[in-house]
Amino acid sequence: MMLAPAFGIPHTFVDVVDTRAYWDLKHGDALTRVVTTPKGETLRNARLLASGLLDADRLAKRSEGGGGYLLRQATSDELAIVANRLYQRTIDCPGWRQPAEPPGGPKPNHFIWPLKLTYPVRWLDI
């Protein structure tokens, strides 16, 4: 799962349930699980993030014990759409991964932990 972003290969994270995943806005996109609330509202992608439920622990607590929250994974039809989009994005294999420019200037002598996630995520709307 992590080799595609590391090598700049187009990819899609499917059935995402947490914001702690690696987001590669240049080469990757994400498709979350579908969450249906007790009121019947359907949440996916940006709406799921905005609701505060794009968190594996919080989702597990809400969906266990008859809380009324239902989680659905991507269907085979949705996976076929994802596969087709990735195929179309990589049809010209030599063109989708140009060599990166080597970093210039002095090397940084520190890093900030924990790493800060950047948004917006490029959601895969299907």
Successive 10-residue mean pLDDT values, the chain, 126 residues: 81 89 78 95 95 91 84 96 90 69 75 70 80
Instruction: Please name the helix (run of DSSP H) or strand (run of DSSP E) that holds residue 76, with its range, or none.
Output: helix 76-89
Helices (H), 1-126: 3-6, 46-51, 56-63, 76-89
Q: Are 54 and 16 in contact (CB under 8 A)?
A: yes
Q: How far apart are CA 3 and CA 60, in angstroms?
A: 27
Q: Residue 15: what pLDDT?
A: 94
Q: Residue 101: what pLDDT?
A: 76
Q: Are 34 and 72 in contact (CB under 8 A)?
A: yes
